Structure 1
């Protein structure tokens, strides 16, 4: 399998107010974020590299909610965790709640696919545990 479920680990060192497409403007406190998505279509996990390019300023086009967060100049992708299985919602539900209801969850009944924690180590450990539990 060349695709599956991924979780991007993000750092936002300073609080920011960001317009998130149709979800509108939201406040993002400084800290760590984990966005869980699927990479099941054409290209598979190449989607993760596309997200990294957007965060690095090498892309402009925003398709998904996470693109708006990644497009903020202070947001940084610090890692990712991948599982070669279609377990996006199971992983997202196992993580702490995020600050934006509906983020990344417009095609399912999850509250959000964006998790938040004030610091990154505990969130990264929770992401690894969630992927291990369902993968």
Structure 2
């Protein structure tokens, strides 16, 4: 499986979630964007894991973003992903405008947050941000044939 980076685009009402060591986190209504990397041996199959967790909600949370994926108030609207072997998720997070949710999803880096807030749907802007860091993104909207877009037959981790 190819490696890369991705951005999950969630729509949500106002909500408060307990997120691991971060404790209670208040989320404003609108859109929250999570920027992640899929550079390990499973590559972009990590995105398939996120998509499945969002629809089935059948596993215990492992990462901060899992709290959003497991909560029915957070609707996964889109995934924007690109193939790369470089650690560009912090550059991508920096290229996307929006308010940061402090410390969310950034425990393995120094950029402060991989979760951003926007009041309106930012999917087109997220795709454009991939271009600003030299990547050609694939955009998968809710309801798209995700299995074909993310290489069918790859075993999820």
- The TM-score, its normalising length taken from structure 2, stands at 0.78
Q: Do structure 1's residue 22 and structure 2's residue 21 form an aligned pair?
A: yes
Which of 28-37 and 52-61 deviates more?
52-61
Report whether the alignment pairs 1:90 with 2:91: yes
- Structure 2 partner of 1:75: 74
Report the secondary structure of 2:68's partner residue. helix
Residue 6 of structure 2 corresponds to which residue in structure 1?
6
How far off its partner does 1:42 sit? 1.8
Listed one character per residue, the Cα deviations across residues 13-34 of structure 1 (whole Å, up to 9, x for unaligned) are x111001111111100111111
Q: Cα distance, 1:103 vs. partner? A: 0.7
Aligned mates of 2:21, 2:77 — CA distance in 1: 26
- Gaps of at least 5 residues in structure 2 are 136-157
Partner residue in 1 for 2:112: 111
**Which of these two proteins has the greater Rg computed from alpha carbons?**
2
CA distance in 1: counterparts of 2:112 and 2:96, whole angstroms: 11
Q: TM-score, normalised by structure 1?
A: 0.90
CA contact (8 A) 1:8 1:80 kept: yes
Deviations 1:43-85 (A, max 9, x none): 1111111111211134322111111111111111111111112
Counterpart of 2:31? 32
Runs of at least 5 residues in structure 1 that lack an aligned partner in the other structure: none
Q: CA RMSD in A?
A: 1.4
Give the distance between the partners of 1:99 and 1:93, measured in 2 at CA: 10
